[in-house]
Amino acid sequence: MSLQVCGNRLMIKPDDVEKEHKIDGTNLRILLGKDEKAERVATQSGMVVQIGHAAWYDYPEEFRGWCKLGDHVIFARHAGKFVQDPETKEEYLIINDNDVQVIITQKVN
């Protein structure tokens, strides 16, 4: 990867977005492609792939770093900016540390 986040930002690999349509009483689920504009607008979750060196720096010590690399998170709807890795052509979302609203965890029985 040729991108490096700076300051208090996080790099997120956005989840694919599913869109549901109803046609003649039948629900159809459509997975939007990477080039679909609707995916960018609807994206609110993804996986943390990089964390800037100053993330959560302005918070008290006990509140710093509440998420880590690999965490699946939900973030503010209109947060951040999409960037494309020039080498891999993958798209990532760069958000501020305080835009993380929820860490998604799976309960293990």
Q: What pLDDT is recorded for position 40? A: 52
| Count of the separate structural domains present in the chain | 1
- 35 within some domain: no
Burial class (CB in 10 A: 0-12, 13-18, 19+), 93: buried
Which domain range does residue 95 map to? 9-15+45-104
Q: What is the pLDDT along the chain (109 residues), one digit of tens a residue?
A: 789 999 999 999 988 765 555 555 555 555 555 555 555 555 688 999 999 999 988 888 877 778 899 999 988 878 889 999 999 999 999 999 989 988 988 755 5
CATH code for position 100: 2.30.33.40
Q: What pLDDT is recorded for position 38? A: 53
- 4 within some domain: no
Give ∠ CA 41-47-52 in degrees, rounded to 5: 100
